[in-house]
Amino acid sequence: MGYAIVVATPVFTHYPLVKECILAGKDTFVEKPLTLRVEEGKEREDVVFVTLYFSKKVLAHIHVSWLDPHKVRKMTIVGSKKMVVFDDMERANKLILYDREVERVNNNYHYNSFGEALSLKFGDIHIPRINSGELLKLECQHF
């Protein structure tokens, strides 16, 4: 079991406490706002692009920005036979599962374009029911 630090203090103490925790390499959970001062906020990154590499040729691309004019909270997971889209900004259909896959037609044949070598398959779309609860409580339980 790992250890983490939860900062649940008056707002004016958030920034110095959280900064100390992060610099010490600790997993830290703090509710908004992180700081009350613009100068302290400028020390944080505005835009981040990250590529994560996992085993078995799995990778993830992440883009986060508090500065972006579009409020997007969307995650797309692409598998070999299905795709999943989670959109936290949607009220009703937050999670959608798509039966979609791409297969190579024939590896022994020379094609003039990439599209000719692929067979696209589209199937059903499934929207499961999601029971939502008290979000902050769920976030803390997961953390």
pLDDT in tens, 62-83: 888 877 888 888 999 988 889 9
pLDDT (tens digit per residue) in 88-124:
889 889 999 999 887 777 776 677 776 677 778 889 9
* Alpha-carbon 48 to chain mean position: 12
| Distance, CA of 134 to CA of 138 (rounded, Å) | 6
**Residue at 85: amino acid letter:** V
The one-letter code for the residue type at 46 is D
pLDDT(1) > 60: no
15: left (phi over 0), alpha (psi -120 to 50) or beta: alpha
Q: Answer yes or no: do 121 and 79 share one domain.
A: yes
Question: Is residue 128 in some structural domain?
Answer: yes
Tell me: do 80 and 125 sit in the same domain: yes
pTM over 0.85: no
Is residue 58 a part of any domain in this protein? no
- Report pLDDT for 84: 94
Q: What is the domain range of residue 100?
A: 71-142
Same domain, 33 and 86: no
My answer on whether 39 and 76 are in the same domain is: no
Q: How many domains are there within the chain?
A: 2
Residues 77 and 19 in one domain: no
In the structure, what pLDDT confidence band is assigned to residue 138 with cuts at 50, 70 and 90? Answer: confident
Return the pLDDT at 20.
94
Q: Residue 2: its pLDDT value, please?
A: 66
The verdict on 83 and 119 lying in the same domain is yes
40: in domain: yes
Are 30 and 90 within one domain? no
Q: In this predicted model, what pLDDT tens digit does every residue of 8-64 receive, in sequence order?
A: 999 999 999 999 998 998 989 888 888 899 898 888 777 889 999 998 888 889 888
